[in-house]
Amino acid sequence: MRSIYLDYAATTPMDERAVQAMLPYMTQQFGNPSSLHSFGRAARQAAAAARGKVAALLGARPQEIFFTSGGSESDNWALRGLAEANRERGRHIITTAVEHHAVLHTCRRLEQQGWRVTYLPVDREGRGSLASLRAAAAADTVLISVMLANNEVGTLQPVAELATFAKERGILFHTDAVQAAGHIPIDVRSLPVDALSLSGHKLYGPKGIGVLYLRRGTAIAPLIEGGAQERELRAGTENVPGIVGLGCAAELAAAELPEEMRRLAGLRDALMDGLLTIDGAWINGSRTQRLPGNLSFGIAGLDAESLLIRLDLAGFAVSAGSACSAGSLEPSQVLTAMGQPPAQAGSAIRVTLGRFTTADETAAFLAAVRSIAGTRKDK
């Protein structure tokens, strides 16, 4: 039985083109970018080219791109670094109740260190509002962090509107774009964010590499000291193969984005319509303001754990929410923040489609869910 992978939000398979781009820098071109000889120059030039490709994906300048180990590090650095560098301006941070744990846990640690954090509520679709942000903003607010797209339910936040308000008030704005980068258009020339996080393995690149975009002129405290790498803000020998792989993945995403968005949205909508024909089924998140490949649903009488096990036995890889919370028996904090009672939140299944997903696979998945739902005792 062939397994069908429908968990692209957890991680994506590497695109073979990115793999091939990386291979020379694991073997022949293994130099340290800080070295002055030809091996070092080759590595340095490869990293610079990749930096330009990532910048192009975001509409940024190459010097605004800082390589990290992944999305969680980028989120941590953004919140801690921006807060520390700007602490004389204020000690208040605003975020939302549905952020990734890399943001929420960092905010809680900052609270322990004397910062005041406001967690904005969201509506039943998981979206925050400008009205709640206006009400929360204070004279000492120094930083706002709101994700671009939710990792569990795929809801898109009104980041352009929220960041515009922040800019008008002189408040720094960070967005976690780990789920969005490479999947929807992002252009920081028109999106007024000061910092943005992304991760390579969420857009068909390698694991262990990410990016923090930092708008030119924005002060941030160094993450790691001890070397001149990343403009003396993140010391340590660069992961050149990972950087090259991410650069290739970013270039491919930019080139293929319009058509891939249309294709995935079509597959998602067909699957959504099919699931809603099942008695007792519902969709989590926004029907329209969501990522093209993300679908979160539940079915009355089927808890997530049982459904996951039966789908896995049938050959389908899906999840019950964030991959970073796998193994937790607690209801999703995202769904409870959206107003769902624990029993409903505990029924959620996340299906995420990607570059290699086919219509035959989504049709087979729908048939499997229908078959399982038909066995409910209380249907």
Residue 324 is a catalytic residue: yes
Catalytic pick among 313, 324, 326, 343: 324
Amino acid code (one letter) for 318:
V
Q: What share of the chain is helix, strand, coil (3-state, %, to 5)?
A: 40, 15, 40
Q: What tokens were used for 83?
A: 């807060």
Q: What tokens were used for 195?
A: 């910092």
Nearest to 174 by CA among 146, 205, 211, 200: 146
Specify the DSSP element, H or E, that contains 213.
Answer: strand 210-214
Q: Which string of DSSP letters, residue by residue, matches 12-44?
A: -PPPHHHHHHHGGGGTT----TT-SSHHHHHHH
Nearest to 125 by CA among 150, 107, 108: 150
Nearest to 331 by CA among 315, 348, 317, 314: 348
> How far apart (Å, rounded) are the C-alpha atoms in residues 117 and 136?
10
Q: Please list the active-site residues.
A: 324
